């Protein structure tokens, strides 16, 4: 892992190869020399050769992949980009920025407080159009109360440096600033990739900032009228572009990540629907837009928030961070008013300038923009921009979607207050490692974060640098050297907190975990059956048994919905060739109803919903699992199929191992395991039903049955003889020492249900307890000889068939009882 070597390597070092752009400020070098503040860090980096740089960047990429740092763009998952060379901020400049940003945060908070409170600023300080034409000014939020007057709990600022060396604020982000999680991920990775350099350089740590931020949120939450309560993160769910960040922050801060459907407002209080009933929430960290928070009072059709949330929040019954409506100051139009507002609200000069901006809602400024329309950058005044679109290109390009100047002028004329003109600036450059393996200069913006703490606003001593390259945006970790000494190690400072308990498991998450267990077991069953099928086709079984086995197998796959009836018939009739021909459709055809792809997609989707409950290692395995079919798409033989299916079994086992070893033994884990046991019982019952309830007994079928139920070895060890129906039924139904036996599943489920929270019973057993005890007794009392030997005139093993049917009914009833008792809403699974 260690990259550093102090041995100078003169060949192709940055010093040799890097060229800054003339006329533009470069953050790394000036006149062919390192900028002074880079000091020894810079010297170390400057003389490293190309191999070192390539290794560094490869390691960074590998860690990003390992940590599954991704985002969604156009519906596809994309890897987050991080350059291996950190961005080092000059300590003197840092102090200036820190002071300036704290002032700015105070100022913006004061503006928001006024606009949703007394509105004194409208009497002369701010023109009405700036507020009332702004769609982020939410009238229903007027009168909003929040503890200690904090409306903005977290702010982000994008900064850019102009050729004169001055940092300017490009945008204020106050709605729901994102990217904090990515900044933290970047730091964790860089500290691992450049450990010696990082330690030696006394880079400011981020942990203290996060702790102050999170402690203050919880303190403010307790000041709400809810008093004691839960802190949660409200996310838009897995469809959100940066859901991975929400889950990461959730894990790091120890707050559950919830969605709108998990929340309910009762009696003007906000509650989380949990496994144990409603739990009051006193703090909600909002990752969705303000307008989506409340479908009753705000955007009518939104499903992301909770009806009644705005009223509850604005009455001070729950703290929402940031306050609902805080996007009102996140626009370009307000920029030119900040110096005046700073004087009148704080009695101070605005310390840190914004990029020069002319808002067309004012006559003089409008005239200026009209006269300079072809040199200025023209932007919509009130459009908020997501994190992933706010790099140099978007700040420095006219974003009005009109074809030519004439149309543009017409648009600006019609609604002047909808536009701003901004000064175009050649932003400073930094070296980044390009795709040709060279250091290249590219323009950058710097994103810094400010959080409300108990002792006022604090700036995070780090951040996100965003480099705009021809192939897209790349981030850099931002390093700020500190004079303080750090006694604690990186590891203890930045290890991901696990303060979670399952006490407050949201019902929806519980439902998802239950179904994750079910889907996992279903896919394992399907993969096992497919594998058995291909082994027979490939000649793995005894040749004489083949035709029989193939027939039975395809029938079995058909009855379990893994193979359509038509295909099953065709395959059985034509034997090997037909199956082979259809092989890939059966396995991976995305359109195919009976595809493996569908089963695996269910696993992945459900796992994604509960991602923040899974360990990183487990999640990585899920990602790999979902990639397997794509990797093998071009291979078309039976042998390949078998390899592929073996691979899948291996990955599924690894996932099970991860879950078994690393998940806390709380209700969530129990529900997952319940789902899995339930599905395993159904699988065994169904396979036995298909293969054994009718005469005659066939050795091939029995071997197949043992294989599909993963009990061949157990059988061999226990009986040391060829299987008979008696031995197989004994092993798979009633032998409670066999971990695959149905009775074993029932016993484990009894154990789980006995500690679930809502198993109250008026007399003796709870409903689920009664179902399970009946099923257990039924199996325990079964006489194997009778199950095998009692055969009707039509050749049906009636005792066996009835026992299987009763057990299956019991299992299905249990599923209904669990759903009704614990998931209290329309389940989205089937």
Residue ranges that bind other proteins, judged by CB under 8 A: 122-123, 127-129, 132-133, 135, 139-140, 142, 264-268, 295-297, 300, 307-308, 311, 361-363, 414-415, 417, 825
Q: Which residues contact 323 (CB under 8 A, 6 or more apart)?
A: 112, 116, 141, 144, 146, 151, 152, 313
Taking the complex as a whole, the smallest distance from the CB of residue 368 to other proteins amounts, in Å, to 16
Taking the complex as a whole, the smallest distance from the CB of residue 418 to other proteins amounts, in Å, to 9
Please state the φ and ψ torsions of residue 454, each to the nearest 5 degrees: -60, -25
For 355-378, give one letter per residue: b (16+ CB within 10 A) or e: bebbbbbbeebbeebbeeeeebbb
Nearest to 66 by CA among 649, 627, 623: 623
Contact 588, 597 (CB under 8 A): yes
- Cβ closer to other proteins: 311 or 384? 311
- Cβ closer to other proteins: 267 or 374? 267
Quote the CA–CA distance of 460 and 390 in Å, as a whole number: 20
- Cβ closer to other proteins: 306 or 659? 306
Taking the complex as a whole, the smallest distance from the CB of residue 308 to other proteins amounts, in Å, to 6
Torsion of CA 67, 72, 78, 84, to 10 degrees: -60
Nearest to 46 by CA among 87, 18, 14: 14
Which helix (H) or strand (E) element contains residue 254? none
Taking the complex as a whole, the smallest distance from the CB of residue 324 to other proteins amounts, in Å, to 14
- Cβ closer to other proteins: 139 or 367? 139
Contact 562, 526 (CB under 8 A): yes
Taking the complex as a whole, the smallest distance from the CB of residue 317 to other proteins amounts, in Å, to 13
- Cβ closer to other proteins: 33 or 266? 266
Taking the complex as a whole, the smallest distance from the CB of residue 264 to other proteins amounts, in Å, to 8
Taking the complex as a whole, the smallest distance from the CB of residue 291 to other proteins amounts, in Å, to 9
- Cβ closer to other proteins: 362 or 428? 362
Taking the complex as a whole, the smallest distance from the CB of residue 406 to other proteins amounts, in Å, to 16
Taking the complex as a whole, the smallest distance from the CB of residue 366 to other proteins amounts, in Å, to 10
Please state the φ and ψ torsions of residue 357, each to the nearest 5 degrees: -135, 135
- Cβ closer to other proteins: 139 or 573? 139
Q: 345: which 2 tokens?
A: 């609200």
Quote the CA–CA distance of 101 and 350 in Å, as a whole number: 10
Quote the CA–CA distance of 112 and 173 in Å, as a whole number: 13
- Cβ closer to other proteins: 309 or 516? 309
Taking the complex as a whole, the smallest distance from the CB of residue 268 to other proteins amounts, in Å, to 7
Quote the CA–CA distance of 474 and 594 in Å, as a whole number: 41
Q: Name the burial class of residue 623, with classes exposed (0-12), middle (13-18) and buried (19+) by CB atoms within 10 angstroms of its CB.
A: middle
- Cβ closer to other proteins: 362 or 642? 362
Contact 1, 192 (CB under 8 A): yes
- Cβ closer to other proteins: 82 or 360? 360
| Beta strand spans in 676-784 (E) | none
Taking the complex as a whole, the smallest distance from the CB of residue 116 to other proteins amounts, in Å, to 11
Taking the complex as a whole, the smallest distance from the CB of residue 127 to other proteins amounts, in Å, to 6
Q: Name the burial class of residue 709, with classes exposed (0-12), middle (13-18) and buried (19+) by CB atoms within 10 angstroms of its CB.
A: buried
Side-chain-facing half-sphere of 705: CA atoms under 13 Å = 30
Taking the complex as a whole, the smallest distance from the CB of residue 61 to other proteins amounts, in Å, to 44
Q: Which residues contact 438 (CB under 8 A, 6 or more apart)?
A: 17
- Cβ closer to other proteins: 395 or 417? 417
Contact 583, 636 (CB under 8 A): yes
- Cβ closer to other proteins: 142 or 631? 142
Give the chain's length. Answer: 830
Nearest to 264 by CA among 244, 284, 248: 284
Nearest to 568 by CA among 584, 580, 557: 557
- Cβ closer to other proteins: 140 or 689? 140
């Amino acid at each position: 892992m260690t990259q550093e070597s102090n041995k100078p390597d003169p060949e192709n070092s940055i010093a040799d190869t890097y060229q800054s752009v003339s006329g533009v400020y470069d953050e790394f070098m000036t006149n062919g020399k390192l900028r002074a503040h880079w000091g020894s860090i810079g010297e170390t980096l400057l003389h490293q050769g190309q191999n070192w740089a390539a290794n560094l960047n490869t390691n960074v990429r590998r860690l990003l992949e390992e940590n599954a740092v991704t985002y969604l763009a156009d519906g596809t998952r994309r890897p987050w980009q991080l350059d291996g060379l950190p961005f080092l901020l000059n300590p003197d400049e840092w102090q200036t920025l820190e002071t300036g940003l704290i002032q700015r945060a105070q100022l913006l908070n004061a503006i928001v407080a006024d606009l949703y409170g007394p509105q004194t600023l409208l009497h002369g300080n701010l023109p009405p159009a700036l507020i009332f034409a702004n769609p982020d000014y939410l009238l229903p939020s007027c009168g909003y109360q929040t503890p200690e007057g904090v409306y903005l709990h977290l702010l982000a600022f994008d900064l850019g440096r102009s050729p004169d060396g001055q940092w300017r604020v490009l945008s204020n982000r106050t709605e729901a600033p994102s990217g904090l999680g990515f900044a933290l991920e970047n730091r964790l990775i860089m500290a691992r990739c450049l450990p010696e350099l990082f330690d030696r350089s006394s880079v400011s740590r981020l942990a203290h900032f996060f702790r102050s931020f999170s402690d203050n949120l919880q303190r403010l939450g307790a000041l709400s009228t809810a008093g004691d309560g839960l802190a949660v993160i409200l996310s838009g769910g897995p469809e959100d572009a940066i859901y991975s960040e929400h889950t990461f922050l959730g894990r790091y801060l120890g707050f559950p990540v919830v969605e709108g459907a998990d929340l309910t407002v009762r009696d003007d209080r906000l509650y989380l629907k949990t496994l144990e009933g409603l739990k009051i929430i006193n703090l909600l960290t909002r990752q969705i837009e303000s307008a989506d928070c409340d479908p009753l009072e705000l955007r009518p059709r939104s499903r992301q928030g909770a009806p009644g949330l705005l009223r509850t929040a604005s009455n001070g019954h729950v703290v929402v961070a940031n306050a609902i409506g805080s996007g009102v100051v996140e626009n370009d139009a307000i920029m030119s008013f900040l110096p005046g507002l700073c004087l009148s609200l704080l009695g101070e000069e605005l310390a840190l300038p914004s990029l020069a901006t002319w808002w067309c809602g004012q006559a003089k400024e409008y005239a200026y923009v009209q006269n300079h329309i072809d040199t200025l950058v023209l932007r919509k005044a009130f459009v908020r921009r997501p994190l992933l679109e706010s790099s140099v290109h978007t700040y420095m390009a006219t974003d009005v979607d009109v074809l030519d100047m004439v149309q543009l002028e017409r648009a600006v004329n019609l609604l002047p207050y909808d536009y701003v003109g901004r000064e175009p600036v050649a932003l400073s450059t930094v070296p980044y490692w390009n795709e040709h393996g060279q250091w290249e200069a590219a323009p950058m913006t710097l994103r810094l974060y400010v959080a409300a703490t108990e002792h006022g606003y604090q700036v995070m001593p780090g951040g996100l640098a965003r480099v705009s390259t021809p192939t897209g945006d790349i981030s850099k970790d931002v390093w700020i050297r500190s004079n303080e000494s750090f006694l604690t190690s990186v590891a203890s400072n930045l290890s991901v907190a696990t303060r979670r308990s399952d006490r407050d498991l949201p019902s929806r998450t519980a439902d998802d975990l239950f179904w994750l267990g079910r889907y996992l077991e279903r896919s394992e069953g399907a993969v096992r059956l497919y594998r058995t099928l291909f082994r027979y086709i490939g000649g793995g079984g005894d040749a004489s048994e083949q035709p029989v086995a193939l027939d039975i197998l395809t029938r079995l796959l058909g009855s379990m919905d893994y193979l359509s009836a038509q295909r099953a018939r065709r395959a059985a009739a034509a034997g090997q060739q037909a199956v082979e021909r259809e092989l890939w459709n059966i396995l991976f055809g995305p359109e195919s109803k009976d595809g493996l792809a569908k089963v695996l997609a269910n696993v992945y989707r459900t796992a994604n919903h509960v991602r923040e409950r899974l360990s990183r290692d487990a999640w990585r395995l899920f990602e790999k699992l979902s990639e397997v079919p794509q990797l093998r798409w071009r291979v078309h033989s039976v042998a390949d199929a078998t390899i592929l299916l073996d691979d899948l079994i291996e990955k599924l086992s690894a996932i099970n191992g991860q879950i078994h070893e690393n998940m806390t033994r709380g209700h969530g884990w129990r529900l997952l395991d319940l789902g899995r046991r339930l599905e395993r019982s159904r699988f065994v019952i169904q396979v036995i039903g298909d293969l054994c309830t009718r005469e005659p007994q066939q050795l091939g079928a029995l071997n197949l049955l043992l294989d599909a139920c993963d009990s061949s070895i157990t059988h061999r060890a226990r009986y040391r003889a060829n299987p008979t129906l008696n031995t197989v039924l004994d092993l798979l139904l009633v032998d409670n020492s066999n971990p695959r036996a149905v009775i074993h599943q029932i016993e484990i489920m009894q154990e789980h249900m006995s500690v679930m929270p809502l198993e109250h019973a008026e007399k003796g057993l709870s409903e689920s307890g009664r179902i399970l005890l009946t099923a257990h007794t039924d199996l325990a009392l079964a006489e194997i000889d009778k199950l095998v030997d009692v055969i009707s005139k039509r050749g049906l093993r009636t005792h066996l068939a009835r026992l299987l049917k009763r057990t299956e009914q019991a299992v299905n009833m249990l599923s209904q009882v669990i759903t009704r008792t614990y998931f209290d809403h329309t389940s989205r699974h089937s």
